[in-house]
């Protein structure tokens, strides 16, 4: 069937619009994030609770620790030690927890949402800044619609699923990442807005890369890809990758926040003085949830993506069996999918043994994402194999 | 299953069972919390799992039992080390690392030509790499060593974990710690109920939430002698079940892959339209089989004939679709069926699958003697060498009927080498070329030889290559004129498809062409097994990632100054202090919320005094 060039052009226009709107949303999130609490933190050194035992924090603890910055000026924050403060914090936790009702609270999604919510329902900060955040969310939704339009138009233009080459994969992966973020926003009633800038930044970069370097005109599939397993296997791989991408973002945030907390600990212990940079950046760092929470978010997100990735690899093996007569042949693409799988499995193990939480687990998470990157880009562009469907010359 | 590296301060019972011991490597998330719980938790109850190995090695020390026991102890220690999570982690990383060169260097199993090229490009490096199996990474002994170690380790720890889990499934949740409220998220309140009543109310609340329960027996006492009023609750056993299914399925999958390579076989065969083959060793042009395949009776007894081959191309010559229409019988006495084999759509017969992996052209040749009698005729497949199916043909005719010559009685055999072009056009620069892959204007450029082919000397020869050592090139008469080294035949034109002037007045006609297809038969009888294992892997994974294991403890004690029992003073306010607490290793946030909800329910339940309800009933 011939390519519908009108729809193809429409798809390209939509993608352009998506990029512009996403970039604006990113700026909005950045503005809200950066200016959110400057009115309060100016002057006072940003001091925050130091978790001696980060992993023992409960949800109640989260709300409490996020409340602490408000108290930081009064000098309470640095004194907190998990053991001593537990009781006091719990009282607050009980009040807060009553509202949700047991049903809602045992829902894993709600639990995740609770873990991710950096603050109560009303993020403090000047009203104007909050409005910027809301506009950024609206822009994200608008950009999402435009991207759905772009992907759909491309699918109809080529009369097939719109994930047949690298440009299309990349667009789909960012779409999954943004969709996941939007779902999280809806579930938490916008309490994860702080994550916005960190999601939109790589998304915009990635889309820019896809739209320029990887771009190919709409065309039919190469015959080897013409199978319904394409829909299943590649779709699963795309969803898993989009979610893994989110986990890489939270891992990087974890590392930043963890360093910050260590510096704070040093300051609190009198081993170091608060540097000017710490004073200045404190407002931003404090907007992030604690390192322990970020660590747990990463675990949850990888826990979500890992079974999907497992399914994608198995579906790929079934397809390979149908097409080439063997389900596994250590083709470079297969090899790197396997490496990615093994590294993320190692991450889950590392997390299960408590000794490997934190930095070392974060390192494995980033290693896993690097392997995924090699799998998607280097294998297609540099190493050639049976899966040479990149569509890039 | 001791973990020598783990700090031994890990509190026992609670944590040792919060999940299977191998995962409890070191100071876990709850270590700090448990430190606050009170002395009861530690050292109470039998030391399970992890602890037992330590005791074993103490009992079997070298001093008491001599060197033999000492060796056993070392081996046991090695075994525990191998089956520890840390080792598994290390081996997992090693496996990932070991796979990397397999994707960067050319591999023999994937592309032998590239390996040869690599040897030419790196003459000094390549042999060194070859010695460490770098061109066959996935068959290398060191690669096998890593995954075998990993799976031995996995099997070792699995057997222990299955036993622990079975015990946990039939056993009771571990006893409540002394001060549950000191666990993160724990709470304390007081109630007018007596301690047994409070515990009963808590039990009902927990039961409603489908926890598995263990209420301290009536009259049970705590280590300090005071009466024990407590209930222990646990939920989410399915997590460990799913986890075990996942790991066991992983082992089964590897076993299936291994058995598949032992009991599987693979053969390639070229079939010209109208011909067929039977699934026997001799029918195949190439055949390889696993160690345990019986070549006589082990192959599925099918036979297959290709009735038609259809190829279609896009105007540019790009392939659009290929399909072979075949008639097959899956056994000697089975009826004949018709099927189509396409790329991506193999034909399954029993445990074997037949794939279409290639196709090409086979011109038909007829060799006639001077009188016009047919000496030899047959189809000769030609090897395609470009996308337009320009193909190389080699025709060897051993039995020509020509008398041998010379004192050594050299045979006079004939050979022709040619280039077949399905859509033939004359290009000024390159001569006769093919411009489209379909046989629209089939042409054949031929050269001929006479002499000794050396074909009947017991040395196997490649049918697609010609040894012209002892042959003389012929001068041919044909469409291009007389006495030429090469002739070009047009297969569709009866006037332009014969060469004459061969020795003995013979002539060769190329009077038609058929398509051939290359089929690959593959049998892997354990494919289904591997698939089932893969599905189990996903199911186990989903269950174990979704379900959360958690424990809740409620403990009641009489408030200071009040006696326990049924006396009237027990009705006074604040007769009992109730504590609640719990642990969840896998879901700290969600659990905190759940625990709050349970505490709310329990508090509410303890505000209604069951005895008041009872007395109301009595009044009625
Ligand atoms: C000696 C070998 C192994 C041991 C002792 C072991 C042990 C464990 C344990 C105890 C858990 C549970 C963690 C938790 O409670 O959250 C776990 C989870 C997991 N293991 Fe293993 N494992 C081994 C080998 C492997 C291998 C070879 C793989 C695959 C590459 C693997 C993949 C996983 C995955 C993906 C999980 C997380 C999903 C789940 O909780 O089921 N394991 N492993």
Two structure tokens written together for B280: 């026997």
Cα(B80)–Cα(B5) distance, rounded to whole angstroms? 11
B260-287 pLDDT, tens digit each = 878 888 888 999 999 999 888 888 887 8
Report the range out of B52-66, B360-374, B461-475 with the highest average pLDDT: B360-374
* C-alpha pair distances (Å), B594 with each of A186, A192, B14, B18, B598: 22, 22, 19, 17, 6
At A25, the pLDDT band (50, 70, 90 cuts) reads very high
- Give the mean model confidence (pLDDT) for residues B144-151: 87
B461-510 pLDDT, tens digit each = 777 778 788 888 999 998 988 899 999 999 999 999 999 989 989 999 99
ipTM: 0.74
Q: Per-residue pLDDT for B23 more than 50?
A: no
User: Is the Cβ atom of B85 under 6 angstroms away from ligand 1?
Assistant: yes
A348-370 pLDDT, tens digit each = 988 876 557 788 899 999 999 99
Cα(B588)–Cα(B550) distance, rounded to whole angstroms? 10
Q: Find the distance separating the first CA and the last CA of chain B, reported in whole Å.
A: 61
Nearest Cα to Cα of residue A355 among B26, B57, B523: B26
User: Is the Cβ atom of B212 under 6 angstroms away from ligand 1?
Assistant: no
User: Is the Cβ atom of B586 under 6 angstroms away from ligand 1?
Assistant: yes
The angle formed by the CA atoms of residues B412, B416 and B421, to the nearest 5 degrees, is 170
**Which distant-in-sequence residues (6+ apart) come within 8 Å of A268 by Cβ?**
A47, A50, A78
Cα(A325)–Cα(A387) distance, rounded to whole angstroms? 15
Average pLDDT of chain B is: 81
Pairing of strands B229-235, B550-558: antiparallel
A58 touches chain B (CB under 8 A): yes
Cα(A246)–Cα(A200) distance, rounded to whole angstroms? 10
- Using CB atoms, which residue from A100, A310, A327 is nearest to B538? A310
Burial-class residue A354 by CB neighbours within 10 Å (0-12, 13-18, 19+): buried
Report DSSP state, residue B405: B
- Give the mean model confidence (pLDDT) for residues A195-205: 88
Cα(A322)–Cα(B594) distance, rounded to whole angstroms? 47
> What's A85-98 look like in SS3?
HHHHHHHHHHHHHC
- Phi, psi of A230, rounded to the nearest 5 degrees: -60, -45
Q: What is the pLDDT of residue A386?
A: 46
The answer to whether the CB of B356 falls within 8 A of the CB of B341 is yes
Q: Per-residue pLDDT for A286 more than 90?
A: no
Q: What is the pLDDT of residue A391?
A: 39
- Per the model's pLDDT, the better-predicted residue between B19 and A79 turns out to be B19
A75-87 pLDDT, tens digit each = 223 323 233 222 2
- Per the model's pLDDT, the better-predicted residue between B448 and A115 turns out to be B448
Two structure tokens written together for B109: 């199993």
Nearest Cα to Cα of residue A13 among A205, A201, A146, A210: A146
Beta bridge partners of B5: none
For atom 19 of ligand 1, the residue with the nearest CA is A349
- Give the mean model confidence (pLDDT) for residues B296-310: 86
**Which distant-in-sequence residues (6+ apart) come within 8 Å of B476 by Cβ?**
B446, B447, B448, B483, B484, B485, B486, B487, B499, B500, B501, B502
Q: Per-residue pLDDT for B324 more than 90?
A: yes
Residues 541-560 of B with CB under 8 A from A: 541-542, 545-546, 548
Nearest Cα to Cα of residue B534 among B161, B251, B157, B166: B251
Two structure tokens written together for A150: 């772009």
- Give the mean model confidence (pLDDT) for residues B288-294: 79
**A59-72 helix and B588-607 helix, angle to the nearest 10 degrees:** 100
Q: B24 and A353 in contact by Cβ < 8 A?
A: yes
For atom 13 of ligand 1, the residue with the nearest CA is A352
The answer to whether the CB of B440 falls within 8 A of the CB of B425 is no
Pick from A275-289, B41-55, B504-518: least confident: B41-55
* C-alpha pair distances (Å), A86 with each of A99, A200, B181: 21, 36, 11
At B543, the pLDDT band (50, 70, 90 cuts) reads very high
Cα(B556)–Cα(B562) distance, rounded to whole angstroms? 13
Q: What is the pLDDT of residue B333?
A: 83
Q: Per-residue pLDDT for B616 more than 70?
A: no
Report DSSP state, residue B414: E
Nearest Cα to Cα of residue B160 among B280, B48, B62: B48
Place of tokens 């509202």: A99
For atom 16 of ligand 1, the residue with the nearest CA is A352
At A129, the pLDDT band (50, 70, 90 cuts) reads confident
Q: What is the pLDDT of residue B242?
A: 95
Nearest Cα to Cα of residue B504 among B607, B359, B618, B404: B404
Nearest Cα to Cα of residue A306 among A298, A316, A294, A317: A298
Pick from A185-189, A306-310, B551-555: least confident: A185-189
Nearest Cα to Cα of residue B3 among B79, B92, B69, B94: B79
Cβ of B207: how many Cβ atoms within 10 Å? 13
- Phi, psi of A329, rounded to the nearest 5 degrees: -135, 10
SS3 A330: coil
Cα(B52)–Cα(B44) distance, rounded to whole angstroms? 15
SS3 B403: coil
Q: What is the pLDDT of residue A283?
A: 60
Q: What is the pLDDT of residue A362?
A: 94
User: Is the Cβ atom of B153 under 6 angstroms away from ligand 1?
Assistant: yes
DSSP string, B67-114: HHHHHHHHHHHHHHHHTSHHHHHHHHHHHHHHHHHHHHS--TTT-HHH
Beta bridge partners of B187: B580
Q: Per-residue pLDDT for B63 more than 70?
A: no
Chain B, nearest residue to A60 by Cα: B592
The answer to whether the CB of B329 falls within 8 A of the CB of B336 is yes
Q: How far, in Å, is the centroid of ligand 1 from the Cα of B588?
A: 20
- Give the mean model confidence (pLDDT) for residues A42-65: 34
Q: What share of chain A is helix, strand, coil (3-state, %, to 5)?
A: 75, 0, 25
Place of tokens 């809200």: A32
Q: What is the pLDDT of residue B592?
A: 86
- Phi, psi of A258, rounded to the nearest 5 degrees: -60, -40
User: Is the Cβ atom of B547 under 6 angstroms away from ligand 1?
Assistant: no
Nearest Cα to Cα of residue A346 among B509, B150, B30: B150
Would you mind telling me the total number of residues written for chain A in this entry?
Answer: 393
- Per the model's pLDDT, the better-predicted residue between B30 and A320 turns out to be A320
- Give the mean model confidence (pLDDT) for residues A122-139: 75
At A184, the pLDDT band (50, 70, 90 cuts) reads confident
Cα(A132)–Cα(A318) distance, rounded to whole angstroms? 48
The answer to whether the CB of A150 falls within 8 A of the CB of A18 is yes
Q: What is the pLDDT of residue A36?
A: 60
Q: What is the pLDDT of residue B40?
A: 36
Q: How far, in Å, is the centroid of ligand 1 from the Cα of A310?
A: 14
Mutate to test the interface with A, among B117, B157, B185, B519 (most CBs of A within 10 A): B185
**What percentage of residues in chain B have a pLDDT greater than 70?**
84
Q: Where in A155-216 does DSSP place strands (E)?
A: none
- Give the mean model confidence (pLDDT) for residues A128-135: 82
Q: Where in chain A does DSSP place strands (E)?
A: none
Nearest Cα to Cα of residue A267 among A293, A285, A292, A249: A285
User: Is the Cβ atom of B88 under 6 angstroms away from ligand 1?
Assistant: yes
Pairing of strands B443-451, B431-434: unpaired
Q: What is the pLDDT of residue A77?
A: 30
The answer to whether the CB of B349 falls within 8 A of the CB of B366 is no
A111 touches chain B (CB under 8 A): yes
- Give the mean model confidence (pLDDT) for residues A14-31: 90
Chain B, nearest residue to A99 by Cα: B597
User: Is the Cβ atom of B91 under 6 angstroms away from ligand 1?
Assistant: no
Q: B343 and A224 in contact by Cβ < 8 A?
A: yes
Beta bridge partners of B427: B431
Nearest Cα to Cα of residue B247 among A248, A244, A352, A332: A352
**Which distant-in-sequence residues (6+ apart) come within 8 Å of B609 by Cβ?**
B192, B193, B197
Q: Per-residue pLDDT for B227 more than 50?
A: yes
- Using CB atoms, which residue from A86, A339, A355 is nearest to B184? A86
Minimum distance, in Å, between the CA of residue B502 and any CA atom of chain A? 46
- Give the mean model confidence (pLDDT) for residues A53-67: 34
Q: What is the pLDDT of residue B31?
A: 36
**What percentage of residues in chain A have a pLDDT greater than 70?**
66
Pick from A91-95, A381-385, B82-86, B162-166: least confident: A91-95
A146-181 pLDDT, tens digit each = 999 998 888 888 777 788 778 888 899 899 999 988
Cα(B151)–Cα(B167) distance, rounded to whole angstroms? 24
């Amino acid at each position: 069937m011939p390519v519908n060039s009108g729809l193809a052009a429409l798809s390209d226009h939509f993608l352009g619009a998506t990029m512009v709107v996403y970039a604006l949303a990113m700026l909005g999130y950045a503005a809200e994030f950066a200016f959110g609490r400057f009115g309060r933190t100016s002057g006072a050194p940003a001091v925050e609770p130091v978790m001696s035992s980060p992993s023992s924090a409960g949800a109640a603890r989260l709300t409490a620790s996020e409340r602490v910055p408000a108290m930081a000026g009064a000098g309470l924050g640095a004194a907190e030690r998990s053991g001593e403060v537990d009781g006091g914090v719990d009282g607050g936790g009980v009040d807060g927890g009553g509202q949700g009702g047991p049903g809602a609270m045992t829902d894993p999604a709600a639990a995740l949402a609770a873990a991710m919510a950096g603050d109560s329902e009303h993020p403090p900060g000047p009203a104007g800044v909050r409005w910027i955040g809301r506009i950024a969310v609206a822009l994200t939704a608008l950009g999402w619609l435009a991207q759905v339009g772009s992907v759909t138009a491309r699918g109809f233009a080529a009369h097939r699923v719109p994930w047949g080459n690298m440009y299309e994969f990349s667009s789909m992966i960012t779409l999954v990442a943004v969709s996941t973020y939007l779902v999280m926003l809806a579930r938490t009633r916008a309490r994860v807005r702080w994550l916005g800038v960190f999601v939109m930044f790589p998304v915009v970069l990635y889309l820019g890369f896809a739209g320029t370097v990887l771009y190919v005109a709409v065309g039919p599939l190469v015959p080897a890809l013409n199978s319904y397993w394409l829909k299943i296997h590649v779709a699963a791989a795309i969803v898993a990758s989009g979610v893994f991408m989110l986990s890489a973002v939270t891992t990087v945030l974890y590392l930043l926040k963890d360093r910050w907390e260590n510096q704070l600990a040093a300051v609190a212990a009198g081993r170091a003085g608060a540097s000017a940079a710490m004073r200045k950046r404190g407002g931003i760092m404090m907007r992030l949830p604690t390192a322990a929470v970020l660590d747990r978010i990463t675990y949850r997100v990888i826990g979500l993506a890992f079974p999907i990735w497992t399914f994608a690899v198995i579906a790929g093996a079934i397809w390979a069996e149908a097409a080439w007569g063997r389900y596994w042949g250590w083709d470079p693409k297969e090899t790197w999918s396997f490496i990615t799988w093994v590294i993320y499995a190692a991450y889950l193990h590392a997390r299960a043994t408590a000794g490997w939480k934190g930095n070392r687990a974060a390192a494995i998470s980033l290693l896993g994402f690097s392997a995924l990157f090699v799998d998607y880009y280097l294998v297609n562009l540099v190493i050639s194999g049976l899966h040479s469907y990149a569509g890039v010359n | 299953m001791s973990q020598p590296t783990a700090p031994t301060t890990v509190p026992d019972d609670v944590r040792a069972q919060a999940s299977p011991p191998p995962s409890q490597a070191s100071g876990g998330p709850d270590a700090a919390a448990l430190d606050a719980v009170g002395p009861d938790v530690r050292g109470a109850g039998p030391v399970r799992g992890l602890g037992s190995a330590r005791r074993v090695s103490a009992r079997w020390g070298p001093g008491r039992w001599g060197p033999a026991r000492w060796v056993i102890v070392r081996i046991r220690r090695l075994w525990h080390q191998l089956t520890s999570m840390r080792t598994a982690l290390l081996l997992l990383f090693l496996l990932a690392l070991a796979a990397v060169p397999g994707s960067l260097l050319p591999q023999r199993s994937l592309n032998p030509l590239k390996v040869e090229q690599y040897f030419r490009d790196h003459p000094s490096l390549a042999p060194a790499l070859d010695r460490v199996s770098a061109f066959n990474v996935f068959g290398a002994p060191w690669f096998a060593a890593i995954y075998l170690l990993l799976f031995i380790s996995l099997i070792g720890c699995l057997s222990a974990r299955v036993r622990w889990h079975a015990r946990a499934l039939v056993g009771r949740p571990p006893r409540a710690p002394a001060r549950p409220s000191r666990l993160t998220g724990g709470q304390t309140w007081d109630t007018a109920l007596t301690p047994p009543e409070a515990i009963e109310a808590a039990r009902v609340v927990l039961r409603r939430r489908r926890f598995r329960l263990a209420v301290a027996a009536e009259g049970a006492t705590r280590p300090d002698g005071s009466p024990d009023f407590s209930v222990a609750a646990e939920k989410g056993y399915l997590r460990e079940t799913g986890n075990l299914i996942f790991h066991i399925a992983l082992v089964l999958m590897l076993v299936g892959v291994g058995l598949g390579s032992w009991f599987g076989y693979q053969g390639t065969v070229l079939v010209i339209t109208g011909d067929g083959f039977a699934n026997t060793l001799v029918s195949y042009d190439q055949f390889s089989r696993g160690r345990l395949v019986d070549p006589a009776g082990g192959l599925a007894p099918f036979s297959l004939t290709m009735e038609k081959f259809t190829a279609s191309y896009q105007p540019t010559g790009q392939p659009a679709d290929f399909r072979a229409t075949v008639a097959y019988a899956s056994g000697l006495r089975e009826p004949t069926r018709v099927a189509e084999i396409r790329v991506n759509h193999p034909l399954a017969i029993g445990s074997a699958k037949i794939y279409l992996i290639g196709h090409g052209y086979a011109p038909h040749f007829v060799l006639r003697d001077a009188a016009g009698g047919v000496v030899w005729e047959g189809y000769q497949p030609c090897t395609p060498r470009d996308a337009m199916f320009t193909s190389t043909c080699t025709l060897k005719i051993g039995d020509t009927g020509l008398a041998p010559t010379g004192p050594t009685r050299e045979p006079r055999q004939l050979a022709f080498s040619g280039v077949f072009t399905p859509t033939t056009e004359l290009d000024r620069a390159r001569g006769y070329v093919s411009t489209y892959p379909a046989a629209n204007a089939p042409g054949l450029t031929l050269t001929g030889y006479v002499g000794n082919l050396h074909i009947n000397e017991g040395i196997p020869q490649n049918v697609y290559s010609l040894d012209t050592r002892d042959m003389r090139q012929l001068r041919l008469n044909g469409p291009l004129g007389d006495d030429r080294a090469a002739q070009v035949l047009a297969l569709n034109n009866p006037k332009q498809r014969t060469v004459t002037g061969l020795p003995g007045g013979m002539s060769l006609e190329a009077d038609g062409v058929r398509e051939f297809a290359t089929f690959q038969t593959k049998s892997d009888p354990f494919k289904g097994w591997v698939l089932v294992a893969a599905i189990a892997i996903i199911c186990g994974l989903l269950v174990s990632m979704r379900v959360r294991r958690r424990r809740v403890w409620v403990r009641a004690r009489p408030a200071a100054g009040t006696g326990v029992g049924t006396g009237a003073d027990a009705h006074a306010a604040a007769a009992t202090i109730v504590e609640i607490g719990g642990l969840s290793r896998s879901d700290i946030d969600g659990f905190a919320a759940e625990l709050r909800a349970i505490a709310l329910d329990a508090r509410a339940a303890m505000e209604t005094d069951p005895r008041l309800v009872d007395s109301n009933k009595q009044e009625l």
